Structure formats: C-alpha cells, structure tokens
Amino acid sequence: MKWKELFYKFLLWREKNIKEKNFILFISFLVGILTALAAILLKNLIHFIQHILMAGIKIDQTNYLLLLYPVIGILLAGLFVKYIVRDDISHGVTKILYAISQRKSRIKQHNTWSSLIASAVTIGFGGSVGAESPIVLTGAAIGSNLGRMFKMEQKTLMLLVGCGAAGAIAGIFKAPIAGLVFVIEVLMLDLTMTSVLPLLISSVTAATVSYIFTGTEAMFKFSQTETFEMYRIPYVLLLGVFCGLVSLYFTRVMNRLERRYRKLGVYWKKFLIAGVLLSLLIFIFPPLYGEGYDTIGSLLGGHFSNIMDLSVFYGFKDNYWGVILFLGLILLTKVFASSATNAGGGCGGIFAPSLFLGCIAGFIFTHSSNYFSFTTVLSEKNFALMGMAGVMSGVMHAPLTGVFLIAELTGGYDLFLPLMIVSISSYITILTFEPHSIYSMRLAEKGELLTHHKDKAVLTLLDINTIIEKDFIVVSPDMTLGDMVKAIAKSSRNVFPVVDEKGILIGVVLLDNIRNIMFRPELYERFHVSKFMVSAPAKIYTNMPMEQIMRTFDDTKAWNLPVVNEEGHYIGFLSKSKIFNSYREVLVENFSGD
C-alpha cells in the first residue's frame, strides 16, 4: 500500500514539475533500455538452447535428431501458451496493428514476457521462424504498459507502442535507423516533430545498449570485394522483380496455409499435422532449422559448400546444379515450415524467413545467371545481400525498412543504390498483385485495419451515437398540410421524418417540395402528409460502419439522411456537416503532432 501511495505522489509531483513532452522523452529512453535488454536476453536464450542441442552432432552425417527437436520445441511452446499464458500470442506485428487500431494502443501485460519465452523455446529447438516479431511485440508491450503505468493518454500510448517496436528492431539488429523507419512504414505511425524525437531516442538507446553488451560488429559479416558497376542495374531490376514474385508466393501461400490450419480447430490435431510436416522438412532440408542465419552468413561470405551439411543431399554439395536445386526446393518449402511451426503451437515471426528467402533468392538468381553468362559475371554475395532487401521489402511492403535494415545489418552501405533499386522494384511488383502486407492483410480482411488509411482510421474512431441529430420534428402520414405548416414554423430544419404509429420511418417531407403550396390556406385541409411525402434517398442503420455511411452519402449526394435501427424505427438524422466537424475533432485529438 505504501508503494502505491508513493507512486501516486510521484505522479502528482511529475504533473506539477515536469512538462509532458519532457516526460515522454524520459519514458522513451526507458523503453529503449528495456527493449534492448529483452532482445539480448532472447538472442542469448536461443543460442544457449541451440548450443546444448547441437553439441556433438557431426555435419557430414544425416542426423535423425532433426526429426525430433522441432516437434519438442513447438510442443513445449504450445503447452506454455495453452496452459500458462492462456492467450493467443502469435503474429506479433499483427497484434500491434490490432492494438493500435482496435484497443486504443493497449497491449496486455503478459506480452512483455510471454512471447519472449515461447519464441526462445520454439526457435532454440529448431522452429523455422524468426525471433524479431516476438521481440517487437514484447517491445511494444513494454511501451504500452509503461505508458499506462504513468497514466499517459491514448495518443501518447500509441507513440510509446511505436517506441517499443523501434527499440526492439534497433536492439536485436543493432539497426537504429531501421527501427525508426519500420515504425513509420509498417506500423504507419505519423512522423511529426513531436513523435520523431521519442522514436529516435528509443532506437538509439536500444542500439547503444546492444553495442555495449554484444559489441559493435554488424550482425552479418559482409565485405564487399567486388565494386558495383552501373551497367549491372538491369540485372538488379530483374532481381527486384524476382524477389517481388518470391514475396508474393510466400505471402499468398502463408495466408492460405494459416486458413487451412485454422479450419482444423482442435489443438492436438493441428500439432500432429504441423509437427510431422515440420520435422520432415527440416530433416530433408536442414537449413530450414531455426532462423537460418548460418545459411545467410555462408552465402554472404561467398561460401556455399556447407549448405548441405547434415542433409541427405550431402554427397551433392560440389555439384553446381545440385546446389541450385537444393536451394530452390528450400525457397519453395520455407513457407510450409514457417506456417507449420506457428500452427503447431510455436511462436515466431517472418522477419528471419524473409531475410533467409531473400538471401537464397539473390544467390539462385546470380548462380544461375553466371552459368549462362558469356560476358557479365555477377557477384553472388552482393546479389544475395540485395535479395535480402528485396524479399523483406516485398513481404512487409516496406522498401525503406528493407534498404536500411540490410545496410545496417551487414555494413553494406556501398551498395545503397542497388539496395534501393531492388527494394523498390520488388515492392512495386508485389503491390501489383497484393495491396496489403502479410501483417496487415489479416486485419484488412476483417475490416479492423486502421493504421494504413488515415481517413478510414478517423471514420472508424467516430461513434455514430454521438453524432446523431435528434432535433428534427417528427410528423405522421395523417397530418394535414395546415398541421405541417405549424410544424415548419416551430422547426429550424427543412427536412421532416414521417413516422407511423409504430415508430417506423416511412418517408420524409422536404420543405422545398411543398414550398409552392404551403402558403395556400385553401389547401390546408385537403392535402395530407401522405400525399406529398417522399422516400428517403437512403437509410442509415445504427450498426453500419462509418466508412459505409460515407459511401452512402456519396452515392445519394444527400446532405442529411435518416437513421433507423435494425427494425426500421426512426432514431434521428445524420448530416454531413456534423460528420465533418466530428472528423476534424478526432483527427486533431488522435493524429495531430501538437
């Protein structure tokens, strides 16, 4: 009890002595430290588990333990989630988008640790997913819960969620710029003078902490021994198109597989099917084991002879086309391994799979091209690096994130121009076929995605019940023209809803339609409302989403439309002017940088 009293006293003291903007900077600094520590802890847990499991395994022999490890991992992670967490923690970035869109940026407290534990077990035992999405969710949860602890408002909570995500990317990849750009491109948070500084503080702080504990070396060792020549740009464009098609394949197949697994329903049924598929794929293609960063390191280093280690294809490692075929099959089956990992109970993201696939795609592209080329020989490791940026840009619909992340991950800044070309061409290619990223399509299908369309976001935040106008005088169909004139004299409106004895809206009276007869007293008893009323151009139902309401206004060209409930009972009217005023208020309150 004393701690609570002291904390409340601190909050009161803070409100009086520390400006809100300055306190947000302090929290963003704290978020950066905590997210970096979480990222370091996750990486160390994964490496610790992998070191224990892989000790004593010989690389030149087929190892049947690869059939067992991944299944044990997803089983342990699944039981942990099912019986301890008791909540869905998969699809980390999607959950952040959902929290921003539908939960006022509130993320549950257990997300600050549950994804970290589940993903460490999943990936440590060989699950074919990445640790980045879980740590991004962990970072966002840290930001959200710190903000709630310090009683921050919704707009600030959204910013702190972004700070947590930026810090997580910066911490796990040692890539502060990529962390900032990721928040802008993937989470679609607005970059204003108010928001950019906290995001930068979290990113730089997290990267600095990561440098202190793990050293300043880039995550992947890459040395550019061959300079990039401008005449190779056409090949870079072709690689971008290829990466875009690989991204489209991965996105579409992943989405369909997830739907199939969801239809299975029962957890144990999903576990058995996914577990068998995962273990068989990893046994046949050992590079699918874990994040695949060893494979990336080998290809970026110009060494591919060890790609087939532990594989049944080990004897073909020196065969030129054997390597191409092996990596091509991995390119096609990675999505099945990743989806099986998550569907079977594991926890992981698609950051690492997209980097893994991009590296392989770039290598296959150049390895094949060089075989047939008589004049131009392409650098396989340079194009493997570009492929990483290309597939990541395509899968995430985030070309800038792909460029900066790969440059910071590898130190390949000399290839900045081709990285940009391949990322943009990949993004344009997939955008032709798929308007949403793999993260946002799940919410977009349900109509729950706000962050990627500000107009829709503001409209969805509007509450229809707060903008219904009820100062319209209701008339009945039996009223005479004389009674109608009396009603007009009392009203400041030029529209009158016509309602029957049960309260059902049956039409409207428009002042313009009776202006020519309302000043003729001899007609007052002869004409009734039922004679000159008209049907409403359209009716707005109380359960309609605001986006559909605005489409109805656009289709009818009306300025006022009646609102009814599901049974057709009259409620009130909606006017465009009221919606526009409310739109502006919500826009300023939730999306302004002031």
CA distance 494 to 330: 69
Q: Do strands 495-499 and 505-510 pair parallel, antiparallel, or not at all (unpaired)?
A: antiparallel
Structure tokens at 49: 């588990």
Q: pTM of the predicted model, to two decimals? A: 0.74
CA distance 456 to 450: 6
Q: What is the DSSP string of 141-195?
A: HHHHHHHHHTT--HHHHHHHHHHHHHHHHHHHHT-HHHHHHHHHHTS-----HHH
CATH superfamily for domain 2-214: Clc chloride channel (1.10.3080.10)
CA distance 191 to 197: 10
What kind of architecture, by CATH, is found in domain 230-449?
Answer: Orthogonal Bundle (1.10)
What is the domain partition of the chain in residue ranges?
2-214, 230-449, 457-591
Asked if 59 contacts 99 with a C-beta cutoff of 8 angstroms, the reply is no
Asked if 374 contacts 402 with a C-beta cutoff of 8 angstroms, the reply is no
Picking from 452, 449, 470, the residue whose alpha carbon sits closest to that of residue 545 is: 449
Picking from 144, 148, 81, 142, the residue whose alpha carbon sits closest to that of residue 112 is: 142
Picking from 304, 318, 278, the residue whose alpha carbon sits closest to that of residue 359 is: 304
- Looking up tokens 């009217």 gives 573
Q: Name the amino acid, one letter, at 329.
A: L
Q: Name the amino acid, one letter, at 215.
A: G
Q: For the chain, count helices (H), then strands (E).
A: 25, 5
CA distance 147 to 100: 14
2-214 and 230-449 agree in CATH topology: yes
Buried/exposed code over 548-565 (b: 16+ C-beta within 10 A; e: otherwise)? ebbebbeeeebebbbbbe
Asked if 407 contacts 419 with a C-beta cutoff of 8 angstroms, the reply is yes
CATH class of the domain at 457-591: alpha beta
Helix, strand and coil in the chain, % to nearest 5: 65, 5, 30
In tens digits, what is the pLDDT along the chain, a chain of 594 residues? 567 777 777 777 777 788 888 888 999 999 999 999 999 999 999 999 988 887 766 555 556 777 888 999 999 999 999 899 988 887 777 788 777 766 667 888 898 999 999 999 999 998 999 888 899 999 999 999 998 888 787 778 888 999 999 999 999 998 899 999 988 888 766 666 677 899 999 999 999 999 999 888 877 777 666 777 788 889 999 999 999 999 999 999 998 998 899 888 788 899 999 999 999 998 888 889 888 888 888 888 877 767 776 666 666 666 667 788 889 999 999 999 999 999 998 999 888 999 999 999 999 999 888 877 655 678 888 899 999 999 999 999 889 998 998 888 887 677 888 999 999 999 999 999 988 778 776 655 555 554 444 445 445 555 667 788 888 899 999 999 899 988 888 888 888 999 988 889 999 998 888 888 888 888 888 888 888 888 888 888 887 777 777 788 888 888 888 999 888 899 998 887 777 766 656 555 554 444
